[in-house]
Amino acid sequence: MKTKIVVIVLVLLTVLTVLMPASAQDSPLAVVGSDVDIMSGDQAYASYLVAPEFDGNYPAIVLIHSFRGLEEGYKTMADQLAAEGFVVLAVGWQTFEQSPADDVVKLLVEDSIAFLSARDEVDPERIGLTGFCAGGRYTMLLLPQIASLKAGVAWYGFPYNASPTAPADVVDQLAAPMLVIHGTEDEPSPIADIYRYVTALDDGGKEFELKVYSGEPHGFMLEGGQLRTDDVAADAFNEMADFFTRKLVTEVAE
């Protein structure tokens, strides 16, 4: 009987290790990245997929880049998230148009979720969304509208930009937790609009977190197309990784 108990404990520990991101295991994972095409609306969107090297059942994240395109810094960020134990798909939503319609991007995100869900290493019940600048707006807009998304991180988004729908107009539909990250010196998206937006989230009883960085401008995570490596950028990245770990791993396990 004692032998059986020991075997069961070892099995449980192995399962927990597979489910637990590297941030919880205190050791980054080796990752493998590749360029992929995501089919949506009969078009192939040039994107980037990265995953932990070893087999497992991982949570996944769809990453929506800024209006400046799928710059190298976003691939670096995707690699770092994968090293934390996530499968990450950075979607090239501007492959065919610089400013596609919202419904085009929504379909692309839904097709990206389907792409990830079909992969053996992805748990389709644990998929999140993150986006930057225009991608931050899409995160605010689409997280309430796509039920299969379980958490989202919106970076310096535009809650009141309507084309035709503003993210603030769909707050009542939000069911998944959201982390909002912003800088106080963001001129294109003033911090006052973010405070107004999260007040609406709070009034609606929505689950959210807000992290504000003093003195940081719009798009502060990238500089010259590359991911910043200073303390602010490192802290902001860790805020995102920790949020996704809590919402896609820890709370799911509980």
Q: Domains for the chain: give ranges and CATH numbers.
A: 2-253 (3.40.50.1820)
pLDDT by position in tens, the chain (length 254):
333 333 323 232 333 333 445 544 456 899 999 999 999 999 999 999 999 999 999 999 999 999 999 999 999 999 999 999 999 999 999 999 999 999 999 999 999 999 999 999 999 999 999 999 999 999 999 999 999 999 999 999 999 999 899 999 999 999 999 999 999 999 999 999 999 999 999 999 999 999 999 999 999 999 999 999 999 999 999 999 999 999 999 887 66
Task: Give the contacts of 45 (CB within 8 A, at least 6 positions apart).
Answer: 37, 38, 39, 91, 92, 93, 95, 96, 108
Cα torsion at 139, 144, 147, 149 (round to 10°)? 30
- Cα(195)–Cα(19) distance, rounded to whole angstroms? 35
Give the tokens for residue 79. 């690699």
